[in-house]
Chains A and B, each alone.
Chain A
Amino acid sequence: MERRVRNAELAISLVLRVGVLVSVAVIAAGLGLMFAHHGEYLPIRGHYSYRELTSRSTQFPHSFKSLGHSLARGEGRGVIVLGVFILILTPVLRVAVGVVTFLYEKDLPMALVTLYVLVVLVGSFFLAGA
């Protein structure tokens, strides 16, 4: 029993670490790309204020369609959103790994519990209209 719990712990810990590392790498690449494309964002070149990028009217991708267009154009902000999306999906993936691990250990009650959580999570993404 103890050894089995340990397997679940190691699998879940691995999923979380990989998710975190991949998302940080993608976000960092996106930031680099954004500053490389926009010299006016850097202190040396001028007086461009961050407020222009954090106001109500700022444009950035917020649907899969606009994210796809932004990535196709090679925009840094699109790459950042992709990285944030990987970060958001990490807990969902962690629950999915939980379902598989509990099934593998033939722990049916816990497998059903995690399956319910997974269904609610995936359902929430669809209900959001994504």
Chain B
Amino acid sequence: MTPLDFVVSLALISVAAGILGSLVGLGGGVVIVPVLTLLYHVDIRLAIGASIVSVIATSSGAAAAYVRERMTNLRAGMFLEIATTTGALSGAYLTTVLPTRFLFIVFGVVLAYSSFATFRRRHTDEPLTVSNDRIANYFDLHGSYYDPAVKREIAYKVVGTTPGLALMYLAGLVSALLGIGSGALKVPAMDSAMHLPMKVSSATSNFMIGVTAAASAGVYFIRGQIDPIIAAPVAAGVLLGATFGARVLGRVASKTVRIVFVVVLVVISLEMLQKGILP
């Protein structure tokens, strides 16, 4: 396969990764890393570097549309970034201390549980109308969005900012340590712990993952993990896919987004367990 064939085929796969990633609020690393390592036999270090590029591309590409359409909860997202960036920064220092295999198993189990928790909420998607959460009230993190699928404005209140912050710290830590799973913990944190509507959770996670990834991108660049011939088709393809995917989210039902997310989460969880048990 010549370099041109490689660039064109990888760009096409990246479009699909961008659509999926923007729809469920994940970075698309779940598609990019296995494709690069298993299909193209690319070194895992370079594959992880490409996955960071894919996360930032998904986030910026989709968030531009989501923020404009008010699907993103801007204030909640920016508030929770305190925890994700701090987590990402501490993760960069813990890499050498903690055994990676053990971490894969722990987070594989955590994600398996969150996929179950997210699935269980599929019938109880009613937004909250009152909140006694002092932090949420002080920073005014509540919001509303127009849902084109049901054709009406949906107002919602936010609760559980403390467990939300804790989970977001963990999310930042995981993405810095393992290079995957940056959005996998963010969506359940907002959906299950903070009771944001599913579509808002997905769009807000999308908004946030770019910042979490940017916090560790500098390290990947200096370590020489961002190979231009891999990064170029991934960035271009994912941006195109994410821009298209962002147009779809509004129109599909919340329940569909939830089910797609649960399926992807189960796959990531199995991927992590496999890496921990059979290295």
Give the distance to chain B from A25, nearest Cβ to Cβ, in Å: 10
Answer whether residue A24 sits at the interface, using C-beta atoms and an 8 A cutoff.
Answer: yes
Residues of B within 8 A of A80 (CB): 228-229, 231-232
22 example contacts (A-B, Cβ-Cβ < 8 A) are as follows A16-B64, A28-B236, A35-B4, A43-B4, A49-B1, A50-B5, A50-B6, A54-B6, A54-B229, A56-B43, A63-B222, A77-B228, A87-B57, A88-B53, A88-B217, A98-B78, A109-B138, A114-B78, A114-B81, A120-B215, A121-B211, A127-B218
Residues of A in contact with B (beta carbons under 8 Å apart): 5, 8-10, 12-13, 16-17, 19-20, 23-24, 27-28, 30-31, 34-35, 38, 41-43, 46-51, 53-56, 58, 60-63, 77, 80-81, 83-85, 87-92, 94-95, 98, 109-110, 113-114, 116-117, 120-121, 123-125, 127-130
B7 contacts A31, C-beta separation under 8 Å: yes
B70 nearest CB neighbor, chain A only = A9
Q: Contact between B78 and A117 (Cβ–Cβ < 8 Å)?
A: yes
Which of B86-94, B120-128, B183-191 forms part of the interface with chain A?
B86-94
Q: Closest chain A residue to B93 by CB distance?
A: A127
The A interface, classified by DSSP as helix, strand, loop or mixed, is helix
Check A120/B228 contact, CB under 8 A, given A24-B239, A88-B56, A91-B56: no
A61 to B65, CA, bound (A): 32
* Chain B residues whose CB sits within 8 angstroms of the CB of A84 once the complex forms: 53, 226, 228, 231-232, 235
B78-A110 in contact (CB<8A): yes
When distances are taken between beta carbons in the complex, the residues of chain A under 8 Å from B57 are 20, 87
A130 close to B85 (CB less than 8 A): no
Q: Number of B interface residues at 8 Å Cβ cutoff, please give it.
A: 65
Interface residues of B in 199-241 (CB under 8 A from A): 210-211, 213-219, 221-233, 235-236, 239
Residue of B56, B59, B64, B232 near A13 (CB, 8 A) is B64
Interface pair B85/A109, CB less than 8 Å apart: no
* Contact residues in B for A48 (Cβ distance below 8 Å): 2-3
Min distance, Cβ A110 to any Cβ of chain B, angstroms: 6
